[in-house]
């Protein structure tokens, strides 16, 4: 009965969290490229595009036939034509392909449009290998002929011959090749280094500043409610809007913050803030700390308010100073809240995308390119969905490892407050 009660929750977790990761992992095993028609879908077997073939083969044979009448290389051209005709007979006589071949041919002869599902047909490995060898053979022979004699339709024949080779779609299953390529790719490791630098520095600064703010606004003073609400304003601003705002503030010509940093000596020149490696990374981290520190302080403030004030009163009576109270009472009792705050912020910072993408686009020279931005560029800018999916799986693995490290080494079972250990 207990399993039935949690079944809906488990199903929801699977649909929302697990299924997208499994789907990405599946796609990462294939060479999927949307800008390449032969690799735009998952292919586990050899396929032939009959529409493309029947719009190529007759014109190629016809062009070769007309060359035979006038060329001095009649025997060689006749040999190429025979190879093409023999291959066509194999396709027409193939039991699994015969009916579909004829149906597509009839539609084309009647000037009817052929759908993608009608056009694509599976062929066995031996037939695909024969077709590949034929394509390579005729291309080699036609290039050799064109060097020896002038063909009147040389460009047309060579172009059709090149297209003939691409009619058969190869299986695009590559296994773990994308992961192997990524793990040996210097750009991926640079992006990982940028991600770790951004994550560690920003989270440490946000924790220190956020804890100080939480301790401050936890005390009773006039206008405390207004101060608490005001502090949350940066966190409430959408990240993309915040990034655009900081981009104007960092502008090398008119940016107020760029001018301020230049005046106090943080940067040599205003224009260097976003165009140098160090300046760009500093700018991104500074903007993230400004925006996300309120979130950290809010989580820590919630933990501070669970600590009874009587503990501080008793410690004061015993002669403990403020620092001693902080070390002996606040930090130990705030441990769970610190764990939650650090866990959430570390995971959020490691997956950072929108702030960096809008502010620097990953530049200059990929100096602020994070692993999430690299995955986006590979998947959408390069339309390489296979490799992009592999990078997204790598991000998921890193996030999972970070979560386990936090829960393992920073102290407690979040669900049971350490019970059962």
pLDDT in tens, 315-328: 888 888 888 888 88
Domain total for the chain?
2
Adjacent-strand bridge partners of 384? 33
Helix (H) or strand (E) holding 101: helix 98-109
Q: What is the domain extent for residue 151?
A: 45-169
Do 283 and 188 lie in one domain? The reply is yes
Q: What is the C-alpha to C-alpha distance for residues 304 and 314, in angstroms, rounded to an integer? A: 17
Average pLDDT of the residues in 297-314: 87
- Is residue 30 a contact partner of residue 42, using CB atoms and an 8 Å limit? yes
Do 141 and 224 lie in one domain? The reply is no
Q: What is the C-alpha to C-alpha distance for residues 364 and 381, in angstroms, rounded to an integer? A: 18
**Chain segment 62-120, per-residue pLDDT in tens:** 988 888 888 777 888 899 889 999 999 999 888 888 899 999 999 899 888 888 788 88
Q: Is residue 235 part of a domain?
A: yes
Contacts of 198 (CB under 8 A, 6+ apart): 281, 284, 285, 288, 349, 352, 356, 368, 370
Do 165 and 203 lie in one domain? The reply is no
- Is residue 243 a contact partner of residue 354, using CB atoms and an 8 Å limit? yes
Q: What is the CATH number of the domain that holds 317?
A: 1.10.3720.10
Q: Is residue 32 part of a domain?
A: no
DSSP structural state of residue 384: B
Whole-structure pTM value: 0.80
Do 192 and 294 lie in one domain? The reply is yes
Last residue of a domain, one of 137, 169, 201: 169
Average pLDDT of the residues in 275-282: 89
Do 158 and 237 lie in one domain? The reply is no
Do 189 and 152 lie in one domain? The reply is no
Do 143 and 211 lie in one domain? The reply is no
Do 253 and 157 lie in one domain? The reply is no
Average pLDDT of the residues in 343-369: 91
Q: Is residue 379 part of a domain?
A: yes
Last residue of a domain, one of 169, 191, 209: 169
Q: Is residue 134 part of a domain?
A: yes
Do 232 and 365 lie in one domain? The reply is yes
The pLDDT, as a whole number, for residue 412 is 52
DSSP structural state of residue 170: P
Do 351 and 304 lie in one domain? The reply is yes
Do 253 and 354 lie in one domain? The reply is yes
Last residue of a domain, one of 169, 193, 210: 169
Q: What is the C-alpha to C-alpha distance for residues 255 and 246, in angstroms, rounded to an integer? A: 9
DSSP conformation letters of 302-345: HHHTTS-HHHHHHHHHTT--HHHHIIIIIHHHTHHHHHHHHHHH
Q: Is residue 160 part of a domain?
A: yes
Cβ-in-10-Å burial (0-12, 13-18, 19+) of 399 comes to middle
């Amino acid at each position: 009965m207990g399993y039935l009660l949690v079944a809906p929750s488990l199903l929801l977790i699977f649909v929302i969290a697990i299924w997208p990761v499994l789907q990405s992992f599946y796609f990462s095993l294939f060479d999927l490229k949307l800008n390449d028609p032969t690799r735009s879908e998952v292919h586990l077997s050899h396929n032939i595009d009959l529409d493309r073939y029947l719009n190529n083969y007759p014109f190629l044979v016809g062009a070769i036939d007309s060359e035979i009448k006038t060329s001095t290389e009649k025997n060689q051209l006749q040999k190429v034509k025979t190879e093409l005709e023999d291959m066509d007979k194999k396709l027409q006589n193939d039991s699994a392909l015969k009916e579909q071949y004829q149906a597509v041919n009839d539609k084309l002869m009647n000037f009817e449009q052929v759908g993608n599902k009608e056009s694509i047909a599976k062929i066995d490995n031996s037939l695909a290998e024969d077709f590949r060898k034929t394509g390579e053979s005729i291309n080699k022979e036609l290039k050799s002929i064109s060097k020896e004699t002038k063909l009147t339709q040389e460009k047309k024949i060579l172009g059709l011959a090149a297209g003939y080779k691409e009619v058969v779609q190869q299986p695009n299953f590559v296994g773990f090749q994308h992961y192997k390529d990524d793990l040996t790719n210097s750009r991926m490791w640079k992006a990982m280094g940028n991600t770790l630098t951004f994550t560690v520095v920003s989270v440490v600064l946000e924790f220190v500043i956020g804890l100080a703010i939480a301790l401050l606004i936890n005390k009773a003073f006039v206008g405390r409610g207004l101060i608490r609400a005001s502090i949350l304003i940066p966190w409430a601003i959408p990240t993309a809007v915040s990034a655009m705002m900081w981009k104007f503030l960092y502008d090398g010509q008119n940016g107020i913050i760029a001018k301020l940093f230049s005046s106090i000596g943080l940067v040599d020149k205003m224009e260097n803030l976003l165009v140098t490696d160090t300046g760009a990374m500093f700018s991104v981290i500074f903007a993230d700390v400004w925006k996300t520190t309120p979130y950290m302080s809010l989580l820590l403030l919630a933990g501070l308010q669970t600590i009874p004030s009587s503990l501080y009163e008793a410690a004061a009576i015993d002669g403990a100073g403020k620092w001693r109270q902080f070390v002996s009472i606040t930090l130990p009792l705030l441990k769970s809240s610190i764990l939650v705050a650090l866990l959430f912020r570390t995971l959020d910072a490691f997956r950072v995308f929108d702030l960096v993408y809008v502010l620097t686009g990953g530049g200059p020279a990929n100096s602020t390119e994070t692993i999430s931005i690299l995955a986006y560029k590979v998947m959408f800018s390069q339309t390489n969905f296979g490799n992009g999916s592999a990078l997204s799986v790598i991000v998921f693995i890193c996030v999972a490892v970070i979560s386990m490290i936090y829960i393992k080494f920073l102290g407690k079972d979040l669900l049971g407050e350490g019970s059962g250990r």
